[in-house]
Every structure is written in C-alpha cells, then in structure tokens.
Amino acid sequence: MCGIFGIVTSKEQPLGELLTAAARRLMYRGYDSVGAATLRDDGTIDLRKDVGRVDAVAEKYNFSEMVGRRGITQLRWATFGEPSQVNAQPHIDSDGDIVGAHNGNVVNNFKLRQQFIAEGLTVRSENDGESCVHAVEHYVNKGYDFVDAIRLAYGDLAGDYAFVIGHARDDRLYAIKKGSGLVVGLGEDADGQPFTCVSSDLPSILPLTRRIVRIQDDEIIILWPDHVELLSVKDGQRIEREPEIVTQSMDAVQKGGYPHFMLKEIHEQPQVARELLHLLNEASEVNTFIEQARKARNLYLLGCGTSYHACLLGAVYFAQIAGRAAIPVLAPQFIRQYAPAVNHEDLGVFVSQSGETKDVLSALQVAEKRGMTAIGIANVIGSTLTKAAACWLPLGCGYEISVPATKTFTNQVVTFLYLAYRLAGLDSPPLEGIPDLMEQTLEMTAPQMEALAGEINSWNDLYCLGYGATYPIALEGALKLKEITYAHCEGMLSTEFKHGPLSAVSDGYPVLFAAPPDDVPLIVSGINEVTCRGGRAIVIGEEDARLRGEASDVIALPKAGPAISPLLAVLPLQLLSYYMSVRRGYDPDFPRNLSKTLTVD
C-alpha cells in the first residue's frame, strides 16, 4: 500500500514538522519505514529516511530542522524488498538531482532494475519506488523535458501505483497514478501564502485544506505554489477540472467514508485482489514454490484462525486443480501430529496475516529444526515470518486495521488458487475476472445481507454449512459471526449436520449454507432436512432453480464456476456478520477480548 505526500510552497521555509505531521496521518497505510526530502532554493536535496515509525525516525534524523520550498514524505508498507534504510523512500536518481517516492507496486520492477543497471544508472536499492525515479531519469538522460520524461516513464512502469517526483533545479512537483488513488489539495498557509499538495489519500491533506482535486489514471499533475496543471499522459493536452470542497469529518475520511474499518476493508477486497494478481504474475517466488512443491514428499499448509481456513481451501484447490495432495493443519497441532514425521523432503507453507502469530512461528521453528523447507505467505512484510521462512509471498493488502480478517483472507485464497493453477502447469491462471466478480457480489448481496441481519439477529445460536470447497468458507463465515456478534455459530461440513446437530433445529432456526455449484443436489438434501423441521435454510450460491425451489432464502452469487464461487461466497457472510454486529450495538472493528496480533502461546 504505502503512502506519499508532497507539498509546494511559495518560499523556502521549515518544512520538517509539516512533513512529519502529514506522514503521521498516513501511518495507517504503512509503518515499516519513513522518509522525508526537502528541495532547497540552492538546488540541493536534503534526504533523511530509515526503518521505523514516523515519530522515532523524525526524532532520530531531526526532520524538524529540514528546510525547503518543496517537500516529499513517504510511509512504506513493504511488499518486495525488505524494510531497510536503503529501501526506504524517497529515492534520488543517479546524480542526486531528482527525488521521488511512490505507493503501490511496480510489478515489472525486477526487469526495470536490470535495465537501469545495464544502462549504468546508480541503482541503490531493491525498491520499486527507486525504479519510478530511474524511469524518469532514463528519459531525461535522453534529452526529454521533465514532463515528457514522466509521461514516457508512466508507459514503462507496470502495476498499480502513484508517485510524486521533483527536480532540484525547478520550483514544481509532479505526480501521476495508475490504479491507486491520488488527490491534490490547494490552500493558503497561516500567512495567506498559497501552497499546493498531493497525497495518496485525504487524511494528510485535510488538516491543511479542504479544496481538493481528484486525479485519474493517465493524468499527470504539475504543482506550483498557487495553482496546479493537469495534463493527459497520452497527448499532453490540458485537462480542466474544478476543485471540490470536502466536508466529511476526518474520522469519516480515514474510514474511506464507511462507518467502520471492517466495512471499508470488505469493500477493498476487489482492488487488493486485482493488485495481488499483478504481483503474483511477476513474483519469482511463485516459481520457487512450484519447484519445491513438485519435488516435495509431503506438502503442509499451516495457519491459525482465518489463515487456517485459507489453508483448508488451499488444500482443496491443490487437489482439485493440480492433483496434488496437501495437508492443511492448525499450526500448533502440527508440532505434535506431524513434526515428528517430517524431514528435508517435506515442504510447509506458513500462512499468517501478521507474520507474528506465536502459534505459527513455534511450528515454523520446529519444522525448520527437522529440516523441512518453509515458505511464508504474509501481509506484514518484514514480520518475523518473512524473515524466518526460506522465501515468502506477500498478500499485498495494505494495513488491515479491523481485528476481523477480511481482505487478507480473500487474498490468501487468491494466492492459493493462483499457486494451484501454476502447479497444474498453467502459466497464466484464468483468474483476472475475480476482482470484477467480487465487486458484483458485494453489490448484489449487500442489501440482502443487511435485511437478513435484521431478520435473524435475535438468534444467538446458528450453523453455517458447506461442502467441498465451501466447507472452509462455512468455517470462516462461522468464525466471523462468532467473532463480532458474540453469538454461537458453528461451521460444519453440511453432510455432518444430520449426524447430531440437526436436533438444534426448531421453528425459524437459521442455518446458512454455502453451496458449491457442482454439488447442488447434496446441498438441497441438507436444505430439506432443515426446512422440513421448520428451520430457515439460507443458501448462498450461484442462481439455480433447485436452490430456489427448496431454500427459505437464496443469496445469489454471480456465475463464476466451482473454483471462484467459494471465494465469492465468503463476502456475503462477512457482510452478514458485520451488519449483525452493528445491530447488536458492538464495534466490529474491535471485538471484546481479541487482538489483531497474537504473540502469545
């Protein structure tokens, strides 16, 4: 994710405090490292950056003494390239007269770095933000003016990103975006002097000004102190856009206009899945996984809680798509059940949003002692898991603030689905439709789930059932429901329900089913067992006359097929638990007794 902020003022002045304050307000986008650069009237650039949180780095490097007419700051959420001082942003070009910073992912970074090194440019880090700077430098060296160099660089930089860049010997900043968000602010300081600023998001801009311009893809913005100019990347033509006035409160802005982070993060899922697919297409670690998985004797998938549910679904995908058996296991149980039997011929995939879960790290330690190869899948890069594993894949979700995992779960599942197709020998997994299908699912099901939450909210006891690839989804839906509504909700294989739990069913008793498209007759049997006893069978699945005919309620998903449909089915379950939690007067972002990162046994 990462966050960027840049400001252009009308005279040289202390900018360090202002940049630190802006960085603090972007911390929710990343906190692995922070940096600030000021561009001074004497044509020099003052660049200070390091690993750590904003306040610590700002104090250590005396950001408060930084002076300039223009300034840039960046908060990093590492994806590729570990959190380190050299990978921290902003970055300078080879001779130090261009400085820039980005957020997002440049997915052809590896190739570009090799090209820049071959050209003789000074490449100091592995970070893709540095590639943005060299991509511009590359065209400046060929004689293009700065704006044309940025326009051409934009064509070379693939992925989803935004970046801000400035030249030591002029008085402007320039910014551009592809996929990611970018907003510009226009205001006046306390002395009535004009300034303009640009950022990946509004929280860093709103305390300075509420006059903003939203930038679109394929546009380049030039910032002077008193005005901004918007140009088309394609033909350099001027684009006219009037500023708008933002009236939302700061709290609402931080939550992206949603009442809770959980709802914001639920709605971010299509975009983070899109970005992840781009990342996976370029990640050399995918090949490492394929090589290791092909030669491994046994393949274990380990995690806890929600991440374990992703492992369960991963194992279904590996078997169904790649014909490769995998053993999903709760990380602490691995220690007693499997560790005594593993050795260097085995491979373990350790899955964790935080990368700090003690239960996962303890299993990893035991596995490595036994010589097993460990691959990590984590959202927080730089976390202990990413350092301890032989190699790792990022989830690329940005900061997940809400305690219940949502977007990190779906990106874990997308990762497993992608790996399963690659293991099956497909170089281009047919997954590019996922983000749009997720968007459609959220749109189609949200009103229904909000209404349903009202109808079943009085029940403190529910079941959530699935079969095959939707069994892990049923477990995950049940976990979300109990986590934030405090109701008892049990997730179960649908065929097991008749072996005992069916006795719970009474008039109106809600049983949720996640129906896999290939197993509708089996789900229909389960539905009938519930409805004939007066229970309410609520089915989530693709439109199907058999489900319509038998279920009490059908939550229809867009047609996606047996591999992708289970992934979509979790979205309405997330929404249901969210709406029920809010109806009960709870804060779904911070459920009682729970913590986002569990570093204890």
**Prior bond to 90 cis, omega within 30?**
yes
Residues 473-512: x where in contact with ligand F6R by CB under 6 A, - otherwise, as a string: ------x---x-----------------------------
Coil vs helix vs strand at 22: helix
Residue 520 is encoded by which pair of tokens? Answer: 């509708």
Residues whose CB is less than 8 angstroms from the CB of residue 259 and which lie 6 or more positions away in sequence, other chains included:
582
Is residue 468 a contact partner of residue 474, using CB atoms and an 8 Å limit? no
**Nearest position to ligand F6R, beta carbon:** 305
Cβ closest to ligand F6R, residue 304 vs residue 420:
304
Which one from 111, 358, 391, 596 is the annotated catalytic residue?
Answer: 596
In whole angstroms, what is the distance from residue 404 CA to residue 506 CA?
30
Cβ closest to ligand F6R, residue 51 vs residue 360:
360
Residue 444 touching ligand F6R (CB under 6 A): no
Residue 498 is encoded by which pair of tokens? Answer: 């008749």
358 is annotated as an active-site residue:
no
Coil vs helix vs strand at 487: coil
499 DSSP 8-state letter = G
Phi-psi region of 331 (alpha: psi -120 to 50; beta: other; left: phi over 0): alpha
Residues 554-573: x where in contact with ligand F6R by CB under 6 A, - otherwise, as a string: --------------------
Is residue 43 a contact partner of residue 260, using CB atoms and an 8 Å limit? no
Number of H helices, E strands in the chain: 18, 25
**Separation of CA 302 from chain center:** 21
Return the range that interacts with ligand F6R (CB under 6 A); candidates 34-42, 71-79, 351-359, 523-531.
351-359
Task: Please report how close the Cβ of residue 384 comes to ligand F6R at its closest, in angstroms.
Answer: 11
Pairing of strands 33-39, 45-51: antiparallel
Task: Please report how close the Cβ of residue 396 comes to ligand F6R at its closest, in angstroms.
Answer: 15
Task: Please report how close the Cβ of residue 360 comes to ligand F6R at its closest, in angstroms.
Answer: 5
In whole angstroms, what is the distance from residue 518 CA to residue 467 CA?
10
Near ligand F6R by CB under 6 A: residue from 209, 269, 307, 415: 307
Near ligand F6R by CB under 6 A: residue from 306, 384, 410, 411: 306
Which amino acid is residue 436, in one-letter code?
D
Considering only residues 253 to 292 of the shown chain, the ones binding ligand F6R according to CB under 6 A are none
Nearest-CA neighbor of 126 among 162, 74, 78, 77? 78
559 DSSP 8-state letter = P
Cβ closest to ligand F6R, residue 255 vs residue 407:
407
Near ligand F6R by CB under 6 A: residue from 353, 373, 386, 415: 353
464 is annotated as an active-site residue:
no
Cβ closest to ligand F6R, residue 204 vs residue 408:
408
Return the range that interacts with ligand F6R (CB under 6 A); candidates 177-185, 213-221, 226-234, 298-306.
298-306
Near ligand F6R by CB under 6 A: residue from 6, 30, 404, 541: 404
Binding site for ligand F6R (CB under 6 A): 304-307, 352-354, 357, 360, 404-405, 479, 483, 598
**Residues annotated as part of the active site:** 2, 596
